[in-house]
Structure formats: structure tokens, C-alpha cells
């Protein structure tokens, strides 16, 4: 938020009307747990969201679609956590097989992606040079191909932070660069074979292989597999001892 815009916080509390009773000073009773706070910056976000939603609803333009889709992807990456790297590896490997089967084995995946007109994909016009922003021949990338590897790469960043090595984000950058290279490879293969490609076919080996190989070289594999994104909270039980009856006053 720009510094010249002052951010203010507002708090709203809800109450209900009551019949005035004897000795009561107010006709209103505050409702428990029915209040919320909002900041002035939230009005900007709300206004922008309404604008994008309205624009997409009436035009279906690919820029509005992409703004909404990327917002959903960012929120998903921020809030979804896998806790352990083993969970991330199993998830990516499972979706690797799933994506290959549904793209190469059947045409269902592409049919759904093309015909389902909701912002669950990022699109870009292939005829941009000839038709500009109003191109109709759209290339697409499903949100799953962004969110799933993104969750794993975000965990790599938190792992780097946990290691506490000064100004070192080795595993995050390795996963991030691997993702970019794999995405480029996906579009190259689409152009070469003139056929839809399962992005996870390239993303999974790259996003898993690069950080795991570096962890093996740096001898961090043990620390990586022991790492927990959401550490368990150990609650120590306190023994309640009964008071000694002999100490009671008679």
C-alpha cells in the first residue's frame, strides 16, 4: 500500500434490540462473538475484486480471468501446507501419473479445461501478435500446475529459513528455477508435437530432482526429511496432587 494513503482500522460490533427492563440503562444488548475489524486498505482490495469480477462476468476477457486465477493460486500456496517433504513427494508423484493418464490416455482433461468457463486456468492468446489483447486462440495452463508445485516450493523456502544459513535460499531458488525451466520445456514440447502436454510430466521431475540432488550433495537429506512445516505442540500434563489431609486445620 502506498505510504501517502493512511491505513485506518475500523471495528464493527453487532447488537440486538431488547425490551427495556427495570433498572436497564440500554435498549441494546451486545452479541457475543459477532464483530469484525476492517482496514482502509481492505476497501481497495474489495473494490478491485468487484471490478475484476464484474469485468470477467460480462466479458470473459483473458486478462480478468488471469488476475482472478493468479489471486486464487497465491492464496492456495499461502494457506495450504503439506507439513513434511514426504507428503509433498507422494502428492507430486501421484499427480504426475494422474496428469499423464488424463492428458495422453483420454481427451477428457483438455475438453474440461477448454469448455469450463471459470477462472481455473491461466490463459494467453497465441495470436497476440496479430490480434493483440483480443486474441481468441488461447494457450492455457491449469491452476493445478501452478498451485501444486508452488506449495512444494513454498515449503522449500520455509525449510531454508529453518536451516538459518545467512542469506542462503538454496533450496527455494533451485525449485523455483527448475519450475521455470520445466514450464518453458512444456510449451516448447507443445509447439514441437502440436499436442497438449501434461505440465506435471516436466514439472515434477524438475521440482523434485533439483532440490533433492542439492540436498544429497550438501548432506541435508536427513534434515529435509525430518523437517516439519507444522511442528507438533507437545503438551505436558500436570499432575494434580490431592492436598494432604493431615495439614488441614481441624
Is residue 147, in this structure, part of any structural domain at all? Answer: yes
Cα 231 to Cα 234: distance, rounded to the nearest angstrom? 9
Cα 43 to Cα 191: distance, rounded to the nearest angstrom? 43
Is residue 135, in this structure, part of any structural domain at all? Answer: yes
Is residue 196, in this structure, part of any structural domain at all? Answer: yes
**Measured CA distances, 146 to 182, 200, 233, 238, 245 (Å):** 12, 10, 31, 46, 67
Cα 145 to Cα 100: distance, rounded to the nearest angstrom? 12
End-to-end, the C-alpha distance of the chain in Å comes to 70
How many domains in the chain? 1
Instruction: Write out the residue range of the structural domain in which residue 220 sits.
Output: 41-226
pTM given for the model? 0.76
Is residue 9, in this structure, part of any structural domain at all? Answer: no
Reduce the DSSP state of residue 31 to 3 states and report it: strand
Burial class of 46 by CB neighbour count within 10 A (0 to 12, 13 to 18, 19+): exposed
- In 89-239, DSSP assigns E strands to 121-125, 138-142
Is residue 98, in this structure, part of any structural domain at all? Answer: yes
> What's the pLDDT tens digit per position in 139-171?
888 899 999 999 999 999 999 999 988 778 999
> What's the pLDDT tens digit per position in 49-62?
999 999 999 988 89
> What's the pLDDT tens digit per position in 63-98?
999 999 999 999 999 999 989 999 999 999 999 999
- In the chain, DSSP assigns E strands to 9-17, 28-39, 121-125, 138-142
Question: What's the mean pLDDT in 93-117?
Answer: 82
Catalytic (active-site) positions: 99, 145
Amino acid at each position: 500500500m502506498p505510504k501517502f494513503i493512511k491505513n485506518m482500522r475500523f471495528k464493527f460490533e453487532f447488537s440486538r434490540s431488547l425490551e427495556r427492563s427495570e433498572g436497564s440503562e440500554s435498549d441494546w444488548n451486545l452479541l457475543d462473538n459477532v464483530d469484525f475489524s476492517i482496514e482502509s486498505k481492505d476497501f481497495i482490495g474489495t473494490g478491485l475484486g468487484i471490478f475484476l469480477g464484474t469485468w470477467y462476468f460480462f466479458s470473459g476477457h483473458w486478462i480478468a480471468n488471469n488476475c482472478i486465477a493468479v489471486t486464487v493460486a497465491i492464496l492456495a500456496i499461502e494457506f495450504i501446507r503439506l507439513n513434511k517433504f514426504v507428503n509433498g513427494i507422494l502428492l507430486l508423484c501421484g499427480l504426475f501419473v494422474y496428469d499423464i493418464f488424463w492428458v495422453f490416455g483420454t481427451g477428457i482433461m483438455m475438453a474440461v479445461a477448454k469448455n469450463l468457463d471459470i477462472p481455473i486456468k491461466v490463459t494467453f492468446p497465441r495470436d497476440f501478435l496479430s490480434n493483440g489483447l483480443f486474441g481468441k486462440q488461447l494457450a492455457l495452463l491449469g491452476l493445478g500446475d501452478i498451485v501444486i508445485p508452488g506449495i512444494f516450493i513454498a515449503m522449500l523456502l520455509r525449510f531454508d529459513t529453518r536451516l538459518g544459513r545467512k542469506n542462503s535460499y538454496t533450496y527455494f531458488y533451485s525449485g523455483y528455477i527448475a519450475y521455470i525451466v520445466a514450464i518453458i520445456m512444456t510449451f516448447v514440447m507443445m509447439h514441437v508435437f502440436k499436442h497438449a502436454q501434461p505440465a506435471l510430466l516436466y514439472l515434477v521431475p524438475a521440482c523434485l530432482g533439483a532440490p533433492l540432488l542439492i540436498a544429497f550433495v550438501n548432506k541435508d537429506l536427513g534434515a529435509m526429511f525430518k523437517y516439519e512445516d507444522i511442528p507438533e505442540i507437545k503438551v505436558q500434563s500436570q499432575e494434580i496432587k490431592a492436598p494432604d489431609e493431615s495439614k488441614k486445620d481441624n
